[in-house]
DNA sequence: ACCTGAACACCGTTCAAGT
DNA sequence: ACCTGAACACCGTTCAAGT
């Protein structure tokens, strides 16, 4: 006997959309399978046809955020591109402090992660870094930028005002520029 | 009417001890108020006399881990001290990947955080860094070290083997040494 | 002061059944 | 294929009561 085809009521897209909206409105802690389902006016169990489980739901959310990260215009000077990337990461972390931390908990091999990495690779190439050192440099740079944005949004830097943190990054930028000049 | 004094059955110390043991054996996700209470053979509600709530319990756990972080012998060369600190952070993150992430979610003004920061300050002083730059340098360095350890233990670096990551850190060390020489 | 039992308002997920 | 209802085994926390 053939199973009856049925019009899908919701898609994975819609599930992630609802997850994002919920996280934006009430924070990540309010994101539960049941709450997402309620927002879609559907039974909790219905979600399991579109995501494997809650972890997969959260993974999908993080990947979505990463994909929406603004990538700087490649025609800009390389150091400005890095600075803009750092700024975008800070803005993303500020909007989603909890979800941002999950960047540290998944392999950086998703399309969204690749996209961001390529942007850093390009900047480093234009900075004149030797090709064989670029992946390593990218790892160090991204780790610092993500760690900084996570510290700021997570509250680790709560004692420091925005101005001091801006100064930290400006100074880091000059140190990095000097280091890159030393390598080249 | 006087309330009757009563022999306390458990202390905050014991609660945190049980929390740590549970986290070590079954991971942070297994740490619940109810599970910690069960391990102490006590009702869940009894814990609330020793910790404000679950967040406070987790905070206590993180602070405990931080306090146990080995501080390098001050008589060692400054760069070796920094390298040892980085190694200790990596080991701590490997043992408690989830709890480690919580370092990014609380202000770094607890006794444990101060203790670690002072160790970095000392190393930077011995490296000859100008006093007025030391707090800023510490922020950059700690952010990188914590970000790196969190990336490694959290799985962000899952595609890279231990050897590559050791190489990353060795190289970072030489860049930092060069940058410090430039500042001095 | 410290511990308890019962209760409230939630969770994620499995399963068998419906269309 | 996709959605549902009922159920299972959990949560954190409040409250009133006991000693």
**pLDDT tens by residue, B14-42:** 999 999 999 999 999 999 999 999 999 99
B48 CA, D13 C1': Å apart? 9
Kindly report the pTM of this predicted structure: 0.95
Mean of pLDDT over chain B: 95
Examine the pLDDT at A3 and tell me if it is beyond 80.
Answer: no
Examine the pLDDT at A15 and tell me if it is beyond 60.
Answer: yes
A43 CA, D5 C1': Å apart? 9
The pLDDT-based confidence of B7 (bands split at 50, 70, 90) is confident
| Alpha carbon distance A12, B41 (integer Å) | 44
Touching check for A144 and chain B: CB below 8 Å? yes
Which residues does B160 contact at the CB level (< 8 Å), separation at least 6?
A139
Examine the pLDDT at A4 and tell me if it is beyond 80.
Answer: no
Q: What is the mean pLDDT of residues A125-137?
A: 97
Three-state secondary structure string covering chain B: CCCCCCCCCCCHHHHHHHHHHHHHHHCHHHCCHHHHHHHCCCCHHHHHHCCCCHHHHHHHHHHHHHHCCCCCCCCCCHHHHHHHHHHHHHHHHHHCHHHHHHHHHCCCCCHHHHHHHHHHHHHHHHCCCCHHHHHHHHHHHHHHHHHHHHHHHHCCCCCCCHHHHHHHHHHHHHHHHHHHHHHC
Which nucleotide is nearest, taking the CA of residue A40 and each C1'?
D3
Confidence at residue A183, expressed as pLDDT on a 0 to 100 scale: 84
Contact criterion met (CB < 8 Å) for B139 and A146? no
Residue with tokens 């990218």: A138
Which residues does A54 contact at the CB level (< 8 Å), separation at least 6?
A32, A33
pLDDT tens-digit series, residues A74-98: 999 999 999 999 999 999 999 999 9
A135 CA, C4 C1': Å apart? 59
Which residues have Cβ atoms closer than 7 angstroms to strand D? A 3-6, 8-10, 42-43, 45-46, 49-50; B 3-4, 6, 31-35, 44-45, 48, 53-55
Cα angle: B121, vertex B116, B14; to 5 degrees: 160
Touching check for B154 and chain A: CB below 8 Å? yes
Confidence at residue B5, expressed as pLDDT on a 0 to 100 scale: 53
Contact criterion met (CB < 8 Å) for A101 and B106? no
Residue with tokens 């404000």: B52
The pLDDT-based confidence of B74 (bands split at 50, 70, 90) is very high
CB nearest B159 (choices: A109, A140, A148): A109
B149 CA, C7 C1': Å apart? 43
Touching check for A77 and chain B: CB below 8 Å? no
Which position has the higher pLDDT, A46 or A6? A46
Q: Cα torsion for B165, B166, B170, B176, to the nearest 10°?
A: 50
Half-sphere exposure of B74 (CA within 13 A, CB side): 10
Examine the pLDDT at B181 and tell me if it is beyond 50.
Answer: yes
Percentage of residues of chain A with pLDDT beyond 90: 93
Phi, psi angles (nearest 5°) of residue B117: -65, -40
Touching check for B179 and chain A: CB below 8 Å? yes
């Amino acid at each position: 006997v053939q199973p009856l085809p049925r019009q899908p009521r919701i898609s994975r897209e819609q599930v992630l959309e609802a997850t994002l909206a919920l996280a934006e409105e009430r924070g990540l802690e309010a994101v539960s399978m049941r709450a997402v389902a309620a927002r879609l006016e559907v039974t909790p169990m219905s979600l399991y046809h579109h995501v494997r489980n809650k972890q997969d739901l959260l993974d999908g959310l993080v990947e979505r955020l990463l994909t929406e990260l603004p990538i700087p215009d490649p025609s800009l000077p390389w150091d400005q591109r890095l600075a803009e990337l750092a700024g975008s990461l800070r803005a993303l972390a500020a909007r989603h402090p909890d979800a941002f931390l999950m960047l540290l908990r998944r392999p950086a091999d998703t399309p969204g992660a690749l996209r961001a990495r390529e942007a850093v690779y390009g900047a480093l190439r234009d900075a004149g870094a030797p090709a064989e050192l670029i992946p390593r440099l990218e790892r160090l740079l991204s780790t610092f930028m993500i760690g900084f944005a996570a510290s700021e949004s997570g509250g680790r830097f709560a004692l420091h005002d925005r101005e001091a943190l801006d100064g930290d990054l400006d100074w880091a930028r000059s140190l990095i520029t000097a280091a890159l000049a030393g390598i080249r």
